[in-house]
Amino acid sequence: MEIIILPDAEAASATAARLVARQVLEKPDCVLGLATGSTPRRLYAELARLHREDHLSFAQVSSFNLDEYVGLHAEHPASYHRFMAENFFDHVDLAPERRHIPDGMAADIPQHCAEYETRIVAAGGIDLQILGLGTDGHLGFNEPGSSLASRTRIKTLTPQTRSDNARFFSSETDVPHHVITMGLGTIMATRMCLLLAFGKTKARAVAQSCEGPVTASVPGSLLQFHPRAKVLLDEEAAAELTHADYYRWVYNNKPAWQKDQ
Ligand code: F6R
């Protein structure tokens, strides 16, 4: 796990965008795992800028989103289908037939989840997975207690997550209780993870994920076992890390060639 602390969310998102761009340039038909929520918005905006101004092309890229709310139609304003269209897909050339997001309206959810896993494998597996972190330590919507080996399936949101996400809905009662989410096993099978976390509300979950024991009670901590995970933080999210000065020193003294690796 490489922990990179940058002055603010803007700088961390720009660094994340460089890493995604490098992946796309190195392997134009790569498979990206995508997240939603407030955290990756700046990253998507920067990728859209790179597409617009620097001709970064996603034409051969495939994408798989982490999750979707059960019971929300793709056109619902708070659905992750809508989020992805508004924040990323409408601004880049990623082919519609290669964009995958779990279907919250699927009639047979277990079958849909099994097919989602099959599609990821058929695409060659996820090369780079973008992740946010819940205030309760969730990854995707793998809430505390999720099986460390889990695959795409239905999950029940914690009251904390429903309250955190109420800002995207007219009221908290409108937040669905259930979601379809890639599992922790699905996330661990990706070749590289970029976990982004910004703001003081994430500081505790960040410290527990990066420096605490690996436990199903803090799903983010499982990334300590991932062979290639980078954690990009702003100063506020890094506030409770014990070894923050060491991580800063390591990053600031990396050879230039290694910085974007
Ligand atoms: C979203 C997702 C979630 C969010 C997390 C943080 O696709 O999988 O794990 O990344 O809830 O959300 P924000 O970024 O809104 O704080």
pLDDT digits (tens, 9 = 90+) for 208-235: 999 999 999 999 999 999 999 999 999 9
Atom of ligand 1 nearest to the CA of 131: 10
Q: Which residues belong to the active site?
A: 67, 136, 138, 143
DSSP secondary structure letter of residue 158 = P
| Binding site membership of 132 for ligand 1 (Cβ less than 6 Å) | yes
Tell me what the mean pLDDT of segment 157-184 comes to: 97
Distant-in-sequence, close-in-space partners of 34: CB < 8 Å, separation ≥ 6: 40, 63, 64, 65, 66, 84, 88, 130
Per-residue pLDDT band at 57 (split at 50, 70, 90)? very high
Stretch 64-82: mean pLDDT, rounded? 97
Whole-number Å distance, alpha carbon 219 to ligand 1 midpoint, is 13
Question: Which is nearest to 121 in space by CA: 80, 152, 96?
Answer: 152
Determine the distance separating the centroid of ligand 1 and the alpha carbon of 256, expressed in angstroms. 31
Say yes or no to pLDDT of 73 above 70.
yes
Averaged pLDDT score across all residues of the chain: 97
- Assess whether pLDDT exceeds 70 at residue 237: yes
pTM here? 0.97
Measured over the CA atoms of residue 86, residue 31, residue 17 and residue 40, the dihedral's sign is positive
Contact 66, 141 (CB under 8 A): yes
